[in-house]
């Protein structure tokens, strides 16, 4: 089977769901990519980022944030599911009960323990080629964040830095160290 469509993916997803299997599917150039559940560190990093962004985006009504279950159909008919994504309000005035049929303004990929960095970098660069304004790669293992801008600029941040996305969220910032899951003392 080659050159599968989004409709083919929907049929397969329905079949998998009937068997109570929890897989996330993407469509990339006619090929279905199957991804298992994420590890809990990656999941927590995503929640921490979404919470920080939501606290800024929601009261200002800037747009919509999506977690790792929100899928988007890109212009080349690929179906992608970033770990975190954002679409400006003027581009998506109302959410629909289907995949987003547009390119998000922001996509974030969070390295899971089984992921390799090089394919994640390539995925973000592909997103940018398709019209994403800002792509972010978060590596919890190395505690590094790389911000990719549509103009080709890449900025690597570490725990002494603050994440900013001025193209989308003027004045918003998040200390990188706040992305990482805390370690609780036994006495707490």
The string of pLDDT tens digits covering residues 160-172 is 999 999 999 999 9
- Asked if pLDDT for residue 20 goes beyond 60, the answer is no
What is the mean pLDDT of the segment spanning 66-82? Answer: 82
Average pLDDT (65-75) is 86
pTM for this prediction: 0.83
Under CATH, which number does the domain 38-179 receive?
3.90.1570.10
Tell me the CA distances in angstroms from 152 to 22, 104, 163, 178, one per residue in order.
36, 17, 17, 26
Q: List, as one string, the DSSP characters of 138-181.
A: EETTTTEEEEEETTS-EEEE-TTSEE--TTTSTT--EEGGGGSP
pLDDT higher at 155 or 76: 155
Report the C-alpha gap between 101 and 70 in whole angstroms: 11
């Amino acid at each position: 089977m080659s050159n599968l469509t989004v409709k083919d993916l929907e049929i397969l997803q329905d079949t998998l769901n009937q068997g109570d299997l929890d897989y996330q599917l993407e469509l990339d150039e006619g090929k279905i990519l199957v991804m298992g559940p994420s590890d809990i560190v990656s999941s927590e990093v995503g929640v921490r980022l979404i919470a920080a962004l939501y606290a800024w985006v929601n009261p200002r009504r800037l747009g919509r944030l999506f977690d790792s279950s929100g899928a988007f159909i890109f212009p080349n008919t690929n179906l992608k599911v970033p770990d975190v994504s954002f679409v400006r309000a003027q581009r998506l005035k109302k959410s629909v009960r289907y995949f987003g049929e547009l390119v998000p303004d922001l996509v974030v990929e969070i390295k899971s323990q089984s992921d390799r960095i090089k394919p994640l970098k390539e995925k973000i660069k592909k997103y940018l080629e398709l019209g994403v304004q800002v792509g972010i790669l978060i590596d919890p293992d190395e505690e590094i964040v790389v911000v990719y801008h549509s103009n080709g600029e890449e900025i690597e941040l570490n725990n002494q830095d603050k994440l900013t996305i001025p193209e989308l969220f003027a004045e918003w910032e998040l200390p990188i160290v706040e992305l990482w899951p805390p370690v609780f003392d036994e006495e707490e």
